[in-house]
Amino acid sequence: MHTPPSGEADRTGEAQFTLPSSFLDELNSLEGMQYQMPPDLEAFYDLYAKAHLRYAHTMLGDKKSAKAVVRRLYSHLALNWVVVLKEESPEAYAFALLKQRVETHLRLTGTAPQMVQTASFQQAARATLEAMRGQLQIMESSLGLFTAIASLPARQYDVIVLHYLLGYPSSRIADIMGIKPDTVRSHRRLARERIATKLGLSMTPAADEDKE
């Protein structure tokens, strides 16, 4: 597992997203079983639970629902941790499962994804617009950008949300998604290119951003 720099969570705004202090105790007594959380799972929780909660909240638009999804995610990880550790990347496994749990929650609650995601799309569009204003030479309207972001492939969309909306740098996104920083930068670059193409604009080099 990768370890992000100390103090980075506060800089990226994770501090406002907290889970109950009793949550770890709940995991230690799942279904009334005698269960002691392994230290490496507790460390994993400390590293990624808040990021997972922020992502779920962005997708669902409701913090209570996001917490329920993250609880189910970590309950699954706790019950299957030995198997999860055999995965090539536990981080990638957990992030993929998080996305699956979000989609399941939407189906079970009968909420139309496009309606729930509208708010996050608008936020992401505004954040991306501001960050990419010079590169894409966009002046006022984010309407086209909104549509372009909505149509991005899943991983490119996740990178855009994690970077422009939630404020994570490439290294932290790589940790959360369980991929390499270079892959994150590649997804972001391809997303910008796809957005520029859909908007019919020429994109200037983003050297400073890619050096991050």
pLDDT tens for the 212 residues of the chain, in order: 544 444 444 444 555 555 655 566 665 555 455 567 789 999 999 999 999 999 998 888 888 898 999 999 999 999 899 999 999 999 999 999 999 999 888 888 776 555 445 565 566 666 665 665 555 444 445 556 777 777 889 999 899 889 887 889 999 999 999 999 999 999 999 998 888 788 776 665 554 454 45
Answer whether residue 76 is part of any domain: yes
pLDDT at 192: 84
Show which of 81, 109, 137 is a domain's final residue: 109
**Residues 121 and 96 placed together within one structural domain of the fold:** no
Residues 102 and 152 in one domain: no
Q: Please tell me whether residues 104 and 123 are part of one structural domain.
A: no
| 170 & 90 share domain | no
Within a domain: residue 8?
A: no
Which residues constitute the domain of residue 191?
113-210
Is there a single domain that holds both residue 121 and residue 65?
A: no
**pLDDT of res. 167:** 85
Instruction: Provide the pLDDT for residue 59.
Output: 83
Q: What is the 3-class SS of 87-138, one letter each residue?
A: CCCHHHHHHHHHHHHHHHHHHHHCCCHHHHHHHHHHHHHHHHHHHHHHHHCC
Does residue 6 lie within any of the structural domains?
no
Q: What is the pLDDT of residue 193?
A: 86
Do 99 and 122 fall into the same domain?
no
Domain edge (last residue) among 65, 87, 109? 109
* Residues 123 and 142 both lie in one domain: yes
The pTM score is: 0.74
Q: Which residues of 49-73 are buried (b: 16+ CB within 10 A; e: fewer)?
A: bbbbbbbbbbbbebeebbbebbbeb
Q: How many domains does the chain have?
A: 2
Residue 182's CB: how many other CB atoms inside 10 A?
11
189's tokens: 């670059």
For 98, counting Cβ atoms within 10 Å of its Cβ (0-12 exposed, 13-18 middle, 19+ buried), the class is buried
**79/33 same-domain check:** yes
Does 63 fall in a domain?
Answer: yes
For residue 32, give the H/E element and its range.
Answer: none
